[in-house]
A and B are shown apart, each in its own frame.
Chain A
Amino acid sequence: MVGKNCFAIASDRRLGVQLQTIATDFQRISKIHDRLFIGLSGLATDSQTLYQRLVFRHKLYQLREERDMKPETFASLVSALLYEKRFGPYFCQPVIAGLSDEDKPFICTMDSIGAKELAKDFVVAGTAGESLYGACEAMFKPDMEPDELFETVSQALLSSVDRDCLSGWGGHVYIV
């Protein structure tokens, strides 16, 4: 979710295999660099592998170009990597959030074969996705300061996740 010169990215903490809960403290959101985060929902093994590949690409990029990747560039890279596996895809949906030039927040999500969906306000992914769309739409206001953004994101996440039996066990929220 986008705020005023800041962004928030949040996830729940449940890792499950259909009805069995495997973990209640699963980290779904990872840092690429200080101003860029990616959350990968879906099949855990695919999201781990995809994350490792992305970190690999980003580290090489940093060494070669002597700068961090911009969020828009990173989103194009993720999209390209996902489409490479068009006929045997990674079963995950990424949510990318970062601060671009001049602290302008950038968010986007994609489907599992790399179709980018840019938004100016919020993006959602996962089993509780539809519920999240409703909650965010209701609670979102433009230009929220970090504290208010945190409240909004947490409330939207918890209320949607409560209505979904496959999500839950708390949440992780990152405000940048």
Chain B
Amino acid sequence: MGDSQYSFSLTTFSPSGKLVQIEHALTAVGSGQTSLGIKASNGVVIATEKKLPSILVDESSVHKIQSLTPNIGVVYSGMGPDFRVLVRKSRKQAEQYHRLYKEPIPVTQLVRETAAVMQEFTQSGGVRPFGVSLLVAGYDDKGPQLYQVDPSGSYFSWKASAMGKNVSNAKTFLEKRYVEEMELDDAVHTAILTLKEGFEGQISEKNIEIGIIGEKKEFRVLTPNEIRDYLAEVE
């Protein structure tokens, strides 16, 4: 690759106009576990595979879906530790907003600020971009919203999206299955089916994680029992 001479320094453009480190970061994301999100008419659902390196790992201690505020949740594909750092920073920004305005932060603002942090790490010295893409799901005055944030710091609003290993199959599946008037329960079923498409092995409540936010504007992660019920409905 003629670009390889330029792939060492993050802050240098390659002749083709790309920042090669960001391309590499996107590759890191693309080899991460699949995650997806679907925006329904009355809420948003985000879900991810939770494949653990060994059966000895205590799966109840692994939380891949986290809440940033009571009404905003996030899931990732890529490097777990980078995700933890971003969650910490975003939570702090959300609280700072609240301290100033005594109002919950709108989803767009939080996404914008998180994206700004990710962009900083593509234009500073001595740092590397984050190796995660985030799917941010929230419900505020503007209704249910789903945003994807990339390592470059660009963000997009999606009706439904997927990231990680199985992204092209998942997106094709979602394109076929998505309807505007979908309700939250249908969206959860669709999310499970999409995950099932590319799943290696048997899907169960122990190896996927699902988070939902409905009209009550409270984000929560589903318990394994609830996931088991949804799985049974889907069979």
Contacts and interface: CB of A to CB of B under 8 A. Distances in A.
Interface of A: 64-65, 70, 72-73, 76-77, 80
Contacts of A76: 100-103
Contacts of B99: 80
Most A CB within 10 A of own CB, among B100, B108, B112: B100
B106 A72 contact: no
Nearest to B101: A73
B109 A65 contact: yes
A65 B103 contact: no
B103 A64 contact: no
B106 A77 contact: no
A117 to B, nearest CB: 15
- Binding site secondary structure of chain B: helix
Nearest to B106: A65
- Binding site secondary structure of chain A: helix
A73 B102 contact: yes
B109 A80 contact: no
Nearest to B99: A80
Nearest to B108: A65
Contacts of B109: 64-65
B215 to A, nearest CB: 18
Contacts of B108: 65
A76 B102 CA distance: 6
Given A65-B109, A72-B103, A76-B103, 11 more contacts: A64-B109, A64-B112, A65-B106, A65-B108, A70-B103, A73-B101, A73-B103, A76-B102, A77-B100, A80-B99, A80-B100
Nearest to A66: B108
14 contacts: A64-B109, A64-B112, A65-B106, A65-B108, A65-B109, A70-B103, A72-B102, A73-B101, A76-B100, A76-B101, A76-B102, A77-B101, A80-B99, A80-B100
A80 B99 CA distance: 8
Contacts of A73: 101-103
A64 B108 CA distance: 9
Interface string B102-125: 110010110010000000000000
Nearest to B105: A65
Nearest to B113: A64
Contacts of A64: 109, 112
B19 to A, nearest CB: 26
